[in-house]
């Protein structure tokens, strides 16, 4: 065991703590999402792409690269969903899920999109509102 293990572990925790705090997305101006707009965003393959990888409750077809989101609204809080969708790297650094509300540490972003998040704060709230509202 390296004598650096403990200090590095503490450092990693400190850094993760900071990253988590910084990545917490700001609520949209209204702080309230539109369920209908969220449904449209979730279903849109080019705007969000969620259904390419997930079965989404209430939507016809869905992909299977990621876990089914059926029941996710019943077992998550709004804050948990916001963090996960904003930046899935906080939960799994090697995730294949796109980063939707951060521009930090991304590579190969086309110059036209540099500095832009995929979703707006409102879009993120809308998606969370839909996932929390939809029945299994
Ligand atoms: C390229 C595939 C891909 C896309 C696109 C994608 N995800 Fe994911 N998602 C995953 C994978 C894989 C996981 C499993 C955890 C991990 O590996 O990070 C996941 C996990 C999740 C979870 C946690 C599920 C649980 O059971 O805890 C939520 C919520 C989620 N995604 C929502 C979304 C939403 C909303 C969108 C669109 C805005 C989206 N995902 C787009 C691949 C994707």
Domain at 72, CATH number = 1.10.760.10
Q: How many domains does the chain have?
A: 1
- Give 10-residue mean pLDDT values along the chain (136 residues): 47 43 59 91 92 95 95 95 96 96 90 91 95 86
Is the pTM higher than 0.75? The answer reads yes
Q: Is 67 in the pocket of ligand 1 (CB under 6 A)?
A: yes
Helices (H), 54-111: 72-75, 78-86
HSE-CB at 6 with a 13 A cutoff on CA atoms is 1
**Of the residues 39, 56, 67, which should be mutated to test ligand 1's pocket, given the most ligand atoms within 8 Å of the CB?**
67
Rg of the chain in Å (alpha carbons): 16
Are the C-beta atoms of 86 and 23 separated by less than 8 Å? yes
Range of the domain at 38: 5-133
């Amino acid at each position: 065991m390296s004598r650096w293990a403990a200090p590095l572990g503490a450092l990693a925790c400190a850094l993760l703590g900071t990253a988590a705090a910084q990545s917490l997305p700001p609520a949209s101006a209204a702080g309230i999402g539109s369920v209908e707009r969220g449904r449209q965003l979730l279903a849109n393959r080019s705007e969000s792409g969620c259904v390419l990888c997930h079965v989404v409750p209430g939507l016809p077809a869905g992909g299977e690269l990621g876990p089914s989101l059926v029941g996710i609204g019943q077992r998550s809080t709004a804050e948990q969903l916001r963090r996960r969708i904003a930046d899935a790297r906080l939960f799994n650094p090697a995730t294949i899920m796109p980063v939707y509300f951060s521009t930090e540490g991304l590579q190969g972003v086309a110059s036209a999109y540099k500095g832009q998040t995929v979703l707006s704060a409102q879009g993120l709230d809308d998606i969370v509102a839909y996932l929390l509202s939809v029945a299994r």
